Amino acid sequence: MRTLTFIVGTGRSGSTALSGILNAHPDVLSLNELLSSVQSRGFPEGPLGGGEFWRLLAEPNATFESMIRSGVPMPEFVYTRRPGRFATGTTGIPALSLMVLPHLTDDPDGLFDELEEQVRHWPVRTAAGHYEALFDLLCVRFGRTAVVERSGYSSDRVPLLRGVFPQARFVHLFRDGPDCALSMSRHTGYRLILLVREILARTGASRPADLTPDQIRSLPPELSALLADRFDPALVLDSDLRSTRFGALWSELVERGVRHLGAVPAALRTTLAYEDLLDAPREELTRLARFIGVEPLPQWLDTGSAQLDGSRRGASLRLPQAELATLREHCAPGTRALSGGAG
């Protein structure tokens, strides 16, 4: 029986490396950043046909396209490093092609065409039914028995995923708060997230798509310019965004994530600390494999252990003492949430 597991968390917690390790297991279908690619629009209510479902997977992600167009792509955008026939400046890069398909194959364009030929002819059913069929199709295609989806910045999607996939398992992946916050502060995606959150806080809008022309005009130019199809990369790269703001973001995400996961039945959830993975890789990978329903194969444990790089561990300790102390204060609520409710 095929299993389905979501690895959720704040991101910047060793999750990309973990996706690579899972992808090396012969029984695991590793879906890298599928949730980030389709986002909430990928889970509409009501029935939809195969063609409609395929469009959800194939339409370019507007935010990611804008980042590429503006010269601030995220390092997770695998397709742009080995480009095929799709490009932001011409066709747009399909959501499924940017990070998901290149993780599975060296021929993402070929796999895209193969999936399109089948999926667009599927019958009318719910989004959940379509995703389950897609997972089954890919498992057969690659000879896998367990599906593991992993996206950064995903802990807030736990309630949505629970509703769509009630039997899914969840792994809460987390990292030391100050180290994670510092990594966020150096990442183009998280810098843009913080700036967009400021836009929403100033205007009271729930999401950028809901902004009115008057709300946009009320913003300072360095924020309103970020809403264009193309913006000056310096607005993201050179903005004065202190590490403490990312510490507060980390705490907020962790606190909500712990609450969301607390509502998941205990048998369907577990936790994984990045530091534990570095300290005891074979033990932690063995526990993870058994949780997701595959065997902890010795050769895979060897390969996975060798792929882990602990060189960035403790990066926050190199900050000036005053800055580190303030960052720890901002991370304290999240740290308390993990110690009290992460089990």
pLDDT for the residue numbered 342: 41
User: What is the per-residue DSSP string for 237-284?
Assistant: HSS---HHHHHHHHHHHHHHHHHHHHTS-GGGEEEEEHHHHHHSHHHH
Residue 227 to residue 208: CA distance in whole angstroms: 8
Q: Which residues 6+ apart lie within 8 Å of 243 measured at CB?
A: 181, 182, 185, 316, 319, 323, 327
Nearest CA to 334 among 201, 266, 244?
244
Residue 98 to residue 327: CA distance in whole angstroms: 33
Tens of each residue's pLDDT in the chain, 343 residues: 899 999 999 999 999 899 999 999 999 999 999 999 999 899 999 999 999 999 999 999 999 999 999 999 999 999 999 989 999 999 999 999 999 999 999 999 999 999 999 999 999 999 999 999 999 999 999 999 999 999 999 999 999 999 999 999 999 999 999 999 999 999 999 999 999 999 999 999 999 989 999 999 999 999 999 999 999 999 999 999 999 999 999 999 999 999 999 999 999 999 999 999 999 999 999 999 999 999 999 999 999 999 998 888 999 999 999 999 999 999 999 999 999 844 3
Residue 44 to residue 127: CA distance in whole angstroms: 7
Q: How far is CA 318 from CA 83, 189, 274, 315, 324, in A?
A: 37, 23, 19, 6, 8
Residue 205 to residue 145: CA distance in whole angstroms: 42
pLDDT for the residue numbered 109: 98
**Residues for the chain: how many in total?**
343
Residue 33 to residue 190: CA distance in whole angstroms: 15
Distance from CA of residue 124 to its chain's centroid? 28
Torsion of CA 217, 189, 181, 266, to 10 degrees: 110
Are 25 and 289 in contact by the 8 Å Cβ rule? The answer is yes
pLDDT for the residue numbered 311: 85
pTM of the model: 0.96
pLDDT for the residue numbered 341: 45
Residue 220 to residue 93: CA distance in whole angstroms: 31
pLDDT tens for 159-181 read 999 999 999 999 999 999 999 99
Are 243 and 324 in contact by the 8 Å Cβ rule? The answer is no
Residue 30 to residue 4: CA distance in whole angstroms: 10
pLDDT for the residue numbered 153: 95
Residue 23 to residue 33: CA distance in whole angstroms: 13
Tokens linked to 157 = 């999607």
Q: Give the three-class secondary structure for 7.
A: strand
pLDDT for the residue numbered 309: 87
pLDDT tens for 168-226 read 999 999 999 999 999 999 999 999 999 999 999 999 999 998 999 999 999 999 999 99
Distance from CA of residue 254 to its chain's centroid? 14
Tokens linked to 50 = 């195969």
Q: Give the three-class secondary structure for 46.
A: coil
pLDDT for the residue numbered 343: 37
Tokens linked to 290 = 């058994």
